[in-house]
Amino acid sequence: MAPATNAAEASSTGGSGRRHHGNRHGRSEQARLAVLRVADGLLVEKGFAGVTMEGIAARAGVAKQTIYRWWKSKTDVLMDAFLQDATEDLTAPDFGDIALDLRDYLRRLAWFLSESDPGAVFKALIAQAQHDPVFAQDFRSRYLDGQRRRDRLPLERAVDRGQLPPDLDMAAETDQLVGPLYYRVLVTDEPIGHEFTDGLVDAFLRRHKLTARTKS
Amino acid sequence: MAPATNAAEASSTGGSGRRHHGNRHGRSEQARLAVLRVADGLLVEKGFAGVTMEGIAARAGVAKQTIYRWWKSKTDVLMDAFLQDATEDLTAPDFGDIALDLRDYLRRLAWFLSESDPGAVFKALIAQAQHDPVFAQDFRSRYLDGQRRRDRLPLERAVDRGQLPPDLDMAAETDQLVGPLYYRVLVTDEPIGHEFTDGLVDAFLRRHKLTARTKS
Amino acid sequence: MAPATNAAEASSTGGSGRRHHGNRHGRSEQARLAVLRVADGLLVEKGFAGVTMEGIAARAGVAKQTIYRWWKSKTDVLMDAFLQDATEDLTAPDFGDIALDLRDYLRRLAWFLSESDPGAVFKALIAQAQHDPVFAQDFRSRYLDGQRRRDRLPLERAVDRGQLPPDLDMAAETDQLVGPLYYRVLVTDEPIGHEFTDGLVDAFLRRHKLTARTKS
Amino acid sequence: MAPATNAAEASSTGGSGRRHHGNRHGRSEQARLAVLRVADGLLVEKGFAGVTMEGIAARAGVAKQTIYRWWKSKTDVLMDAFLQDATEDLTAPDFGDIALDLRDYLRRLAWFLSESDPGAVFKALIAQAQHDPVFAQDFRSRYLDGQRRRDRLPLERAVDRGQLPPDLDMAAETDQLVGPLYYRVLVTDEPIGHEFTDGLVDAFLRRHKLTARTKS
DNA sequence: GACTAAACGAGACGGTACGTCACGTCTTAGC
DNA sequence: GCTAAGACGTGACGTACCGTCTCGTTTAGTC
């Protein structure tokens, strides 16, 4: 069984010989990391249906009770794993120009959603959110709200710079920029190339009568 | 699993006196309809997790084996139920004007997705499609491809009329119109009012330098 | 379910190769024989649990309904198959001497029970009789009673000859002769050699103060 | 499946401090007893076909999985129930005389087989043994072998006493004594009165030229 | 020669039970 | 006090047969 080795690796990150297996010193970091890593791995390897509490417990060398003590469902585990991996990855750069900022950001968002491993987890979580309103609420407050704030950043900076009018409907504009990406990823499964994301930016510029300073 | 629907259509379209009576020999239309009706009802009433093969069988007064004989999973049942309810409901009207057509169509699409019962089933199916690529493929070929064709209709008519240039990137334009709706429905769960759908149409018109003839 | 056999016999007397598949005048001999043959074969090949109505129907190329029309259960089919094969096989010879008669008969009975294919079917039927009193009654009246009469024949002939007293308790004596055979076959599964059956005869002779005329 | 019973016994007899290590907290004695009691009850009440895993589980308030964890089939459960009830009940008394010992023992064996509840279970198990060689082997090693040893006891004691010659063929003699009982119980279903069992003893005495000291 | 009636093959149907899987709760022993 | 281990009740899974019920065909015999 792999867990022995995995556990060893996990504990080696804790500097000195501080291994606690079951003890009176609070939660086992080792167990927590093993669970998250295994959950991620199972999702990528066997798909959503292949992620089970029993499967995670067995492969992580962890007791089921330990998982239930700290997470309330397998989707909660996956969300934790996702948050650990994904947070702060998707912040738009500041090139000082709305066109450049958006172009870069949408490309990276597209890649994240359609190509990356965390993107696969994201899709699984969004799927779960369709089935479970409580989970949906949780997912929004723990990830999506923050993501929406990051989505809006380039526009806010452009308003600050005076490139865009201050009375812009931020929510609607953001939805028009990122909505088509999510639509392709979640619904049509068509590939998203640079021409598609760049096209979104161009459309945005055109309807606000702006022009791109540079072209890629 | 197309045969299920085909058989149903075949037998239901058999307009005149040809219909066989108790419908023994061959599939039981009664059982088929009961299953679809019950599946739909369970989804709306108890959510996706509340839809089980056993539950459908019990409530529909049907043997489990009968369900498995004609559908390969509960999502396959739900898809059939969805197709029976939803097909052809979402065809854009033809008012002779792109602005009017789009305004009406997006409002109805928004209502369908966020308010209607079939819309709830649609969300469940899209969720399942995230988890199961085979199902996703099936769903696309049996519903989404047709829906995309319907989405494009208003634009195609406008091109025919000369309101829009013939070299328009249909796919990209459609995605920008409907993508934000799906995004709100599937991801952010924000309410979609007329101001939002109308705003999408206005943005479309602005970036193509058109003006709305009328306002609703 | 006696009619099954009777009908079969009646129709089998109809001379030449008059095969009818489905017709106005009674049952298909072809189907009847196929069912019995297949039932026997399945029992020998896959054991009792491997004999199913569906299995018989499929392998015999017969509709389930046809089986149910003529037999009331799979054990009823097996009983018919058994009766067809086994009846009249086990009649004691008449060598004119009780010792010789018994010796030969018990050997053949032992072989029948423990070695022959019909013996295997017999064991399955006796087993079923433990579980189902109605079947047990049927089996007794259709086979066991006759068999008991055949068991008693050598003793009756000996009484007629004057070798044994006329007030002999036939039932008890027969049970002591054949009971140990059935016991070994059904309960202990120990092999039954000639020394065992001959020993039973010797014990019989000894307690009735007879001596064997010949020895084999 | 011997471990089931053994484990249970081990845990119930594990009085002092030496607790078992293999099972963290081990099997539920309560569940085990409920299953055995219910299985017995169902057999007596509804016959063999009325004993189902689902029925046992439901009536015993136990999960099906719990039954499958410890027993491999319903007949395995019944065997366990039978062994719990029946073992050691059928030991011949020692009156110091072969005639008395046998007379008493055969009467009690007859009663056990034909009248008692465990006797009904025994018949069901013997029936199953006809259908399933693996089960048959198991049943023999867990019950029948011991029973055969008990059958032989009166004869062995008589040999020790000098009432019978030491070169007696124990197996054959035992089969002649008990075989007719099993035959009547399993095959002919004729009632077994004292006159029948006593007759078996008398025949035994006669062929060994012994006389009964007392008569009942 | 058309018609009728019995038996046929086929196979869908409502069911029961099977044996398996994962759930979430729980108890116990070790560190 | 947290851990690994794992038994437990619950409930759904997908499968195998059960016995019943039309279907549409085949085939004698009757009119």
The CB density around residue D138, as the number of other CB atoms within 10 Å, is 19
- State the CB neighbour count (10 A cutoff) for residue B210: 17
pLDDT score of A16: 39
* DSSP, residue by residue, D23-81: SSS---HHHHHHHHHHHHHHHHHH-GGG--HHHHHHHHT--HHHHHHH-SSHHHHHHHH
The pLDDT of B178-184, averaged and rounded, is: 98
Cβ of B176 within 8 Å of Cβ of A207? The answer is no
Q: Which chain B positions have a beta carbon within 8 Å of A126's beta carbon?
A: 127, 130, 186-187
Query: What are the angstrom distances between the C-alpha of B202 and each of B158, B194, B196, B208, B214?
Result: 15, 12, 10, 10, 12
Q: What is the CATH number of domain A86-207?
A: 1.10.357.10
* C-beta of residue C148 within 8 angstroms of C-beta of residue D183: no
CB-CB contact of D146 with D89 (8 Å): no
A91 sits in the region (left: phi over 0; alpha: psi -120 to 50; else beta) called beta
Answer whether C119's CB lies under 8 Å from C112's CB. Answer: yes
Per-position b or e across C189-202, b if 16+ CB within 10 A of its CB = beebeeebbbbbbb
Report the candidate in A150, A65, A146, A147 with the shortest Cα–Cα distance to residue A102: A150
C17 touches strand F (CB under 7 A): no
CA B179 to chain centre: 15
Min Cα distance D40 → chain C (Å) is 14
CB D90 within 8 A of CB D150: yes
Contacts of D48 in chain C (CB under 8 A): 130-131
| Fold adopted by A3-71 | Arc Repressor Mutant, subunit A (1.10.10)
Q: How far apart are CA B12 and CA B6, in angstroms?
A: 10
* Superfamily of structural domain B2-10+20-81: Tetracycline Repressor, domain 2 (1.10.357.10)
pLDDT at B87: 67
Q: Is C2 exposed, middle or buried (0-12, 13-18, 19+ CB in 10 A)?
A: exposed
pLDDT tier, D161 (very low <50, low <70, confident <90, very high otherwise): very high
Asked if the model's pLDDT at residue D42 lies above 70, the reply is: yes
The correct answer on CATH 1.10.357.10 for the domain covering C2-84 is yes
- Predicted pLDDT of residue B91: 85
| Tokens describing residue D128 | 């199953």
For B183, nearest residue in chain A (alpha carbons): A179
Q: How far apart are CA B109 and CA B119, in angstroms?
A: 9
Question: What are the tens digits of pLDDT across the range D51-64?
Answer: 999 999 999 999 99
Q: For position A205, what pLDDT does the model report?
A: 96
> Which residues, 6 or more positions from D215, have their beta carbon under 8 angstroms from its beta carbon?
none
Q: What are phi and psi of D81, to 5 degrees?
A: -60, -40
Q: Look at residues D44, D67, D71, D69 and name the one whose alpha carbon lies nearest to residue D56.
A: D67
Q: Contact B206/A207, CB-based, under 8 Å?
A: yes
In whole angstroms, give the CA distance from residue A205 to residue A214: 13
HSE toward the beta carbon, residue D110, CA cutoff 13 A: 22
Least confident of A28-32, A180-184, B210-214, D45-49: B210-214
Are D78 and D143 a contacting pair, CB within 8 Å? no
Please tell me if the domain spanning C2-84 has the same topology as the one spanning C87-207.
Answer: yes
- CB contact under 8 Å between B182 and A183, yes or no, is yes
User: Hey, is D102 helix, strand or coil?
Assistant: helix
For the stretch B109-112, contacts whose Cβ atoms lie closer than 8 Å and that sit 24 or more positions apart, written own/partner, are B109/B151, B109/B178, B109/B181, B109/B197, B110/B181, B110/B192, B110/B196, B110/B197, B112/B86
pLDDT category of residue B213 using cuts at 50, 70 and 90:
low
pLDDT confidence of residue D91: 85
Q: Which CATH class is domain D87-207?
A: mainly alpha
CB C28 within 8 A of CB C65: no
Q: Among C176, C204, C208, C210, pick the best mutation site for testing chain D contact (most D Cβ within 10 A).
A: C176
Interface contact flag, D140 C188, Cβ < 8 Å: yes
Q: What was the pLDDT predicted at D211? A: 78
DSSP B65-99: HHHHHH-SSHHHHHHHHHHHHHTTS------S-HH
Which pLDDT belongs to residue C211? 78
Say yes or no to pLDDT of B3 above 60.
no
Q: Which of C113, C204, C188, C105 is nearest to D171 (CA)?
A: C188
Which amino acid is located at C192 in the chain? Answer: I
Domain residues of chain D, as ranges?
2-85, 87-207
Q: Write the pLDDT tens digit of every residue in D63-104.
A: 999 999 999 999 999 999 999 887 667 888 899 999 999 999
Look over chain C and give the mean of its residue pLDDT values, rounded to a whole number. 87
Buried b (16+ CB within 10 A) or exposed e, B155-176: bebbbeeebbeeeeeebbbbbb
Q: What is the pLDDT of residues D104-143, one digit of tens each?
A: 999 999 999 999 999 999 999 999 999 999 999 999 999 9
Q: Give which of B203, D66, D129, D81 is closest to A176, Cα–Cα.
A: B203
- Quickly give D17 CA vs E23 C1' distance in Å: 35
Tell me the one-letter amino acid at A114: S
Helix, strand or coil, per DSSP, at residue D169: coil
Helix axes C29-46, C2-12, angle to 10 degrees: 120
Give the C-side interface with D, CB within 8 Å: 47-49, 123-124, 126-132, 136, 140, 144, 148, 169, 171-172, 175-176, 178-184, 186-190, 196, 199-200, 203, 206-207
The pLDDT assigned to C21 comes to 52
Residues 58-87 of D with CB under 7 A from strand E: 63-65, 68, 73-74
pLDDT at position D15 over 60:
no
Length of chain A: 216
User: Residue C187: how many CB atoms within 10 A of its CB?
Assistant: 23
D6 band by pLDDT with thresholds 50, 70 and 90: very low
Q: How many whole angstroms from its chain centre is CA D187?
A: 18
pLDDT for position C24: 55
Listing DSSP states for B153-190 in one string gives HHHHHHHHHTSS-TT--HHHHHHHHHHHHHHIIIII--
Residue contact A188–B144, C-beta within 8 A: yes
The amino acid at residue C107 is: R
pLDDT-above-90 percentage for chain C: 77
pLDDT of residue B14 exceeding 60: no
Q: What is the DSSP string of chain C?
A: -HHHHHHHHHHHTS-S----SS-SSS--HHHHHHHHHHHHHHHHHH-GGG--HHHHHHHHT--HHHHHHH-SSHHHHHHHHHHHHHTTS------S-HHHHHHHHHHHHHHHHHTSHHHHHHHHHHHHHHH-HHHHHHHIIIIIHHHHHHHHHHHHHHHHHTSS-TT--HHHHHHHHHHHHHHIIIII-----HHHHHHHHHHHHHHTT---S---
C12-68 residue pLDDT tens? 333 334 444 555 567 888 899 999 999 999 999 999 999 999 999 999 999 999 999
Distances in Å between the alpha carbon of B193 and those of A9, A172, A177, B107? Answer: 52, 11, 18, 8
CB contact under 8 A, C196 and D123: no
Query: DSSP of A77-123, one letter per residue?
Result: HHHHHHHHHHTTS------S-HHHHHHHHHHHHHHHHHTSHHHHHHH
Is residue C103 within 8 A of residue C203, CB to CB? The reply is: no
Q: What is the per-residue pLDDT across C156-209, written as a single tens digit (0 to 9) for each? A: 999 999 999 999 999 999 999 999 999 999 999 999 999 999 999 999 999 998
Regions in chain A scoring below 50 on pLDDT? 1-19, 215-216
User: Cβ of C183: how many Cβ atoms within 10 Å?
Assistant: 23
Which residues from the 32-51 window of protein chain D have CB within 7 angstroms of nucleic acid chain F? 32
C77, C36 Cβ separation under 8 angstroms: yes
pLDDT at C212 over 70: no
Contact (Cβ atoms closer than 8 angstroms) between residue B77 and residue B59: no
Q: What is the largest CA-CA distance in chain C?
A: 64
Give the model's pLDDT for residue D216. 45
Cβ A136–B189 below 8 Å, yes or no?
yes
User: Residue A141 and residue A147: Cα distance in Å, rounded?
Assistant: 10
Locate A104 and state its tokens. 């870069």
Alpha helices per DSSP H over D116-190: 117-131, 133-139, 145-161, 170-183
Chain F nucleotides with an atom closer than 7 Å to a protein C-beta: 1-29
- Token pair belonging to C91: 């009649």
What is the pLDDT at residue D213? 58
Unique residue bearing structure tokens 């024989």:
C33
The confidence score (pLDDT) of residue C4 equals 40
CB contacts, 8 Å: B179 with chain A: 179-184
* Cβ contact D24 with chain F strand, < 7 A: yes
Distance CA C155, CA A167 (A): 117
CB atoms under 10 Å from CB of A151, counted, come to: 22
Rounded CA separation C132/A35 (Å)? 55
pLDDT digits (tens, 9 = 90+) for C109-131: 999 999 999 999 999 999 999 99
The amino acid at C9: E
Per-residue pLDDT band for D50 (boundaries 50, 70, 90) equals: very high
Residue C201: closest CA among chain D residues belongs to which residue? D176
Which CATH class for the D2-85 domain? mainly alpha
Residue numbers 3-62 of A with CB closer than 7 A to any atom of strand E: 21-24, 52-55
Cβ atoms of residues A171 and A69 within 8 Å: no
Q: Give the tens place of pLDDT for each residue, B105-130.
A: 999 999 999 999 999 999 999 999 99
pLDDT at C2 over 90: no
Token couple for D175: 């089969």
Considering chain B, what percentage of its residues have pLDDT values greater than 70?
85
Whether the CB-CB separation of C216 and C103 falls below 8 Å is answered with yes
Q: Which residue has the higher pLDDT, B11 or A166?
A: A166
- Min mean pLDDT across B190-194, B206-210, D32-36 is at B206-210
Residue with tokens 């599964």: C189
